[in-house]
Amino acid sequence: MGFQLGSDPDPQSVVSVTLFTALICACVIIGHLLEESRWMNESITALAVGLCTGVLILWTSGGKSSRILVFSEDLFFIYLLPPIIFNAGFQVKKKQFFRNFMTIILFGAVGTLMSFMIIWLGARGLFSKLGIGSLEIKDYLAIGAIFSATDSVCTLQVLNQEETPLLYSLVFGEGVVNDATSVVLFNAIKNFDLVHIDFANSLQFVANFIYLFATSTFLGAFAGLLSAYVIKKLYFGRHSTDREVALMSLLAYLSYMLAELLKLSGILTVFFCGIVMSHYTWHNITESSRVTTKHVFATFSFMAEIFIFLYVGMDALDIEKWRLVENSPGKSIVVSSILIGLVLVGRAVFVFPLSFLMNLAKKSPNEKISFKQQVTIWWAGLMRGAVSIALAYNQFTTFGHTRQRGNAIMITSTITVVLFSTMVFGLMTKPLVRLLLPSSTRHSSSMSEPPTPSSVLIPLLENVQESEVETGGGKIRRPPSLKMLLTEPTHTVHYWRSFDNSFMRPVFGGRGFTPFVPGSPTENGASTVL
């Protein structure tokens, strides 16, 4: 469908977009008014507004429709998801994220696979006895992937990144890796030959899974480094800060689309692109561009999240899907209840055992995950959201519609699970977190960001040349070669920080490594890492 010069836009489209924009404005205003609410948050507010709007549209249309836009997986995965994931990587506290990287990967990848197995086996064993339709083995596997995708937005809106850095980084990191794992797993299932399953094919499946993770991460890091190098060398800011903001935004989005084009995980790619951009590129642009990018990325992410929850609330009342299951509403309720139970069990199966294993490997008490924190992590992953909806539509409908009873039951059950988990579990999140982690204990038990000890810098001050590098507290000299860095005493040296200061930042820029040019984005005391 193209655009004709001079042609008027479709009146129905204009009405739909106008109404949806007005609803988003209403969600922002209502969310602001309920900011101090003990129960409500932005996602629940948008969902509730969507439900009320759906009821109104359903009533005015005489029961024919409950929505003003048609759901599309392309709309979700191509336009709405990228800004959310990119901003997550751009705003993350990198030190905490990478300090807990192994735990995050363990929860987000291994834990998701364990949850997938529980949901898949449980659904296959229980649904086959209900006679809900002609579901095949691939459908049951898809169900496992669909309901392994968490939505921890409600919990993250309650947690404070400064008060609970350990807990926040674990919940946040697991949520991103979990979404990527679920989507990669779902796509692998759709492309996997389930007719001829043997040991060799299983190994190939695992190898492809690891390959997708590794290549997606590399592509995101490469895109971030490319943006840093180009902006550092060409220094767009001396002519136009708009070009800097535009280039960062476009390269980030390009990395996501390239990943999708290459059949990789766009979620992982754009997430790590955001991390790398915040570490290097953000420090190579002007001060005005820094403020602009920080707020622009956050604003787009905020609006995309509201859009998603608003639409899910309206689509939940779509009469076409419910009409196919109206003869057996009890069966749909049973299916939804089973799925919620499997989600609860699937989370518990990996959160508590994996936390126990990680605590055995931690030496410092502050690094251990307490039982109350484990309960919070378990609870944070109980909500299901737009990723589950999008994957369910992809598996069980064609362009948002279905004529098969079994598929309709799965779609309505997915919507029911999303609504129940978001509204019920989400409403209970804030009081539960306050009960488990009171403000005083949240701050005292959190992992603080320790200052860089002088012993870390001592090995870098010996046998060096005259070139110097700025750090947070002053200047230190830079080792002239990687060989010298590796031959120095390393028991007190943070390997990555040393390598980053010595070889990465001089090439790609970053805090303290941008050459001084009149009017250039030189570092000052007010500059901080996102």
Q: Tens digits of per-residue pLDDT, 61-91?
A: 776 666 676 667 778 888 888 998 899 889 8
The mean pLDDT of 94-116, rounded to a whole number, is 88
In a domain, 479, yes or no: no
Distances (CA, A) of 280 to 216, 233, 505: 19, 13, 7
Confidence grade of residue 111 (pLDDT, cut at 50, 70, 90): very high
In a domain, 9, yes or no: no
Domain of 289? 14-436
Question: What pTM did the predictor assign?
Answer: 0.77
* 407 close to 397: Cβ distance less than 8 angstroms: yes
For residue 408, the model assigns a pLDDT of: 80
Per-residue tokens: 69? 């836009």
- SS3 (DSSP) at 476: strand
Closest CA to 315 of 403, 416, 424, 436: 416
Q: Which of 32-46, 104-118, 422-436 has the lowest mean pLDDT?
A: 32-46
pLDDT reading at 510 higher than 50: yes
The total of structural domains in the chain comes to 1
d(CA 496, CA 504): 10
In a domain, 513, yes or no: no
pLDDT reading at 363 higher than 50: yes
Query: What is the share, in percent, of the chain residues with pLDDT greater than 70?
Result: 76
Q: How many CB atoms lie within 10 A of CB 222?
A: 16
In a domain, 211, yes or no: yes
d(CA 324, CA 319): 9
* Amino acid (one-letter) located at 206: V
For residue 15, the model assigns a pLDDT of: 80
Burial of 257 (0-12, 13-18, 19+ CB in 10 A): middle
CATH code of residue 28: 1.20.1530.20
In a domain, 134, yes or no: yes
Distances (CA, A) of 137 to 120, 398, 476: 9, 19, 61
The mean pLDDT of 334-355, rounded to a whole number, is 93
d(CA 82, CA 203): 31
In a domain, 450, yes or no: no
* 371 close to 287: Cβ distance less than 8 angstroms: no
In a domain, 90, yes or no: yes
In a domain, 109, yes or no: yes
